Structure 1
Amino acid sequence: MTERELVAGGEGETGEESTIALQLEHTSLGGAGEVVHELTPEDVELARIEAEQSLTQWREKSAKERGNEANAQNLWRKLEQLTTALSAELAEKLRLILEPTLASRLQGDYKTGKRLNMRKIIPYIASDFRKDKIWLRRSRPSARKYQVMLAIDDSRSMAENHCGHIALESMVLLARAMARLEVGEIGVVGFGAGANAVRTLHPLGAPFTDQEGPSLVSKLSFAEDNTLADRPMVQLLETMAARLSVAREQIRGGGTKLQQLVLIIADGRFHEKEALRRCMREVGAQRGLLVAFIVLDNPQNSLLNMQSVSFTGGKPVMKKYLDSFPFPFYVLVQDVSQLPATISDLLRQWFEMATSHD
């Protein structure tokens, strides 16, 4: 495959036989006959303002009264309103990309097909050209199992950079789109600092429904404090690698290939870059696993304008912050409406690279 730029960070190694040929069904998370009402730009802006206000109220009350059900229901309704059309758009984009890959294996004994079955050529000649079922077709579906983990940054910096409500919107958009496609198993974790650095919000294997939504958003407050001694991103990767390794071991030995995707939703601001590079090299070497970073960027305080400093020969050297971003697969998102296009593009390119090694 021709080398090209994947996203702002470029391409990275994902390991052999990685693929994202998701199981697709024409179903709707909201139930049969769901009608998607398109919001005007004014409606979207108003809904986002209300969602941010609801999240601010939630954060203020959660410190004293965590688990306020009415507030969680109200916030979830606003997130549903904002993401219904976008999740449907993402689901359809993924459906178009992934549907042709469902029958990707060659199977034989046809009179016409894509490729000759060389084992049948000699019997074909010996039969005086009567046994002519000598062709292979792509008619054998690949036996694969899929697990998608969404990791949400629950730290205070998300609120300070006005990314908290966008993170919730992104999480709901992705989870509902993948549930609509019946992608397999979907899990959600929140990560921050301290003893509860990585918390399970929705376990793998449990069905994701809109009824679970208020409970899910009620577990995120974007109030976790990080210190320089904390390593939230490294802890997240180590925890995810361990959990997903257990999942791989549980199905090893069967005919099913497990494909795993971790999507990290965060503001991209962290200090442990060198440790992250080492950790990402180890994680990236695992077969069938992709870790991608969705950077939620505030245009008024954009990472595109940030610089980092390093020292060479005792002298400071300034360079762009994103030039040393430790995640080889990432997308920079300033507007949630960009997510369907960016996520589908990322998955398509990963799928192309993965299948080129099959």
Structure 2
Amino acid sequence: MTAGLRIGSVGLCFILWACGGASVPAPEEAGAAVLTEASALLPDAGSPWAPVSAMVTARAAQAGVTSMGIAVYDSLDRKVYEQMVGDFTPDQRVAVASSSKMVSGVVLFDVIRQGLLTLDSTTGQVLGWTGDKANITLRHLLSFTSGLEPSNPCTSRVTFTLAECVAQIATIPVRAPPGTRFDYGSVHLQVAARMAEVVTGRTWNTLFAQTLATPLGLPADVTYYTAPTQILGTTNPLVAGGLRASMNEYAKLLALVYHRGRYAGLEKGTLGLFVAQTREPYPSVIVGNSPMADLGYPYRYGLTAWLECTTPATGCSSISSPGAFGWTPWMERDAGYYAILGMQLSGADVSGGVVAFSVDLERDLKPLIRTALGN
């Protein structure tokens, strides 16, 4: 492992590996690579990464953020840039909040790959739901267009099981017919995860461990909790927001998404599912609860990921999954990189709002990273 350099009174750690504008290999070829560390260098004024360093430093200072990090990986899974602010470290495990959603999507994609579910499997078929809830499909659930109320108190009950929580969700009247309304919230993936539990005969955390954590060499503590900031509750995991991981740990999960399920010798999900992830399945939906719209962004939603482009109906090369505590993973496949803003902040830690800080920073870093990579 490379040691970072600590400099100045604000305690910044920089790691840089210059890669230039190398061509981007096919995902299947790049996926065979394993994440590697960068060499420790401080970007000087002439470095292509100096603007990235300057922006992160300035934005953190302006917002009063004293503990965060950024890491950028190229298409060969080399860590090409890393910067730490304050005492944050790339091995510091925190609650990633809604950045859990993209990871949960991969687990569900792999259940589909095994032939145990399809995107068109319904709650009626799998869970025995009846009436106006019976025709909700897994596609609706993964795109948050199920028509269910997006939140339910049961998702925070540490003494519940996932089965008990979903049974409670089943008693609540729907807000809209499936496929007609988008509402961002935790309920959709809670139901989707229960469908996976039923068809596999395994609990969600066991399924996550067997599908992703163990094959990627992640420790048992990288798992889903009901209350992730308190590290409490594993029988009713918050599937949409309960994962805890470090930047170095999450990078392996993000690499698997970047390479469309083909990474480090693994095959998870199908290439078709990862293509579907980048497209909005129901472009004509009414947009209800949308944190991106609240921030003034026009981004729509695919399958467990935000679509950061102007053509969501036909697909986006840039997708993301920001969380309420600031943790923000994203990728730009056309530019050949993926990145993580790592942090666990509260409202008191940031002036102007945690999500606004991280999402705005991600947006403004994108062109600087592309330039640094030679794109």
TM-score by length of 2: 0.26
> Which has the larger Rg?
1
**Higher percent of residues as strand:** 1
TM-score by length of 1: 0.27
Of the two structures, which has the highest relative contact order with CA contacts closer than 8 Å and spacing of 6 or more?
1
